[in-house]
């Protein structure tokens, strides 16, 4: 499954949302990360020039998803970085470790689409199903 086909946008009058799939929780989080970036800009135009690593945690898969995606918004606003490749693993303490590859954001070369203000808890779901995981998340625009 390529990353473009691992998510689809959800219709929502005020904001934007995505439904994402993944074979494992790690893959789901990776794909959701990519879906968020692809909502902000054209993710396929981002070159993996810089590597950044961060940790995230949560009391549930939903919280982990929110925290991982919030880190991406933080990196964009605070560091001016945007990523297109995410490798996520969990350590023995269930702390998520994300290795992200990307480059400084450029409105001209990254096909800017829209700014996302926040990741919301509305309709937030992470479901384990046959063959993997499925998540729904709404972004505040």
DSSP string, 39-56: HHS-GGG----EEEEEEE
Minimum Å gap between C-beta 47 and another protein is 16
Choose between 27 and 124: whose C-beta lies nearer to another protein.
124
Residue whose CB is less far from another protein, 119 or 135: 119
Q: Which residues form the interface with another protein (CB under 8 A)?
A: 9, 11-16, 40-41, 70, 73-74, 76-78, 80, 82, 105, 107, 111-115, 117-122, 140-141
Q: Which is nearer to another protein, 40 or 65 (CB)?
A: 40
**Residue 5 in tokens:** 């086909």
Separation CA 17–CA 122 (nearest Å): 10
Nearest approach, Cβ of residue 78 and another protein (Å): 4
In the bound state with another protein, the residue whose beta carbon lies nearer, of 86 and 105, is 105
Residue 31 near residue 20, CB atoms below 8 Å = yes
At residue 124, φ and ψ (nearest 5 deg) are: -70, 125
**Shortest Cβ distance from residue 24 to another protein (Å)?**
26
92 within 8 A of 98, measured Cβ to Cβ: no
């Amino acid at each position: 499954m390529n990353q473009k086909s691992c998510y689809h946008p959800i219709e929502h009058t005020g904001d934007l949302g995505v439904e994402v799939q993944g074979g494992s929780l790690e893959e789901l989080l990776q794909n959701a990360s990519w879906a968020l970036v692809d909502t902000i800009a054209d993710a396929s135009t981002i070159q993996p020039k810089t590597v950044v690593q961060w940790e995230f945690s949560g009391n549930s898969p939903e919280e982990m998803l929110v925290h991982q995606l919030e880190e991406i918004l933080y990196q964009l606003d605070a560091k001016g970085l945007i990523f297109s490749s995410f490798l996520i693993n969990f350590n023995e303490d269930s702390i998520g470790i994300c290795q992200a590859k990307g480059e400084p954001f450029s409105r001209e070369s990254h096909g800017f689409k829209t700014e996302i203000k926040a990741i919301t808890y509305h309709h937030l779901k992470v479901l384990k199903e046959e063959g993997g995981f499925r998540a729904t998340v709404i972004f505040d625009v």
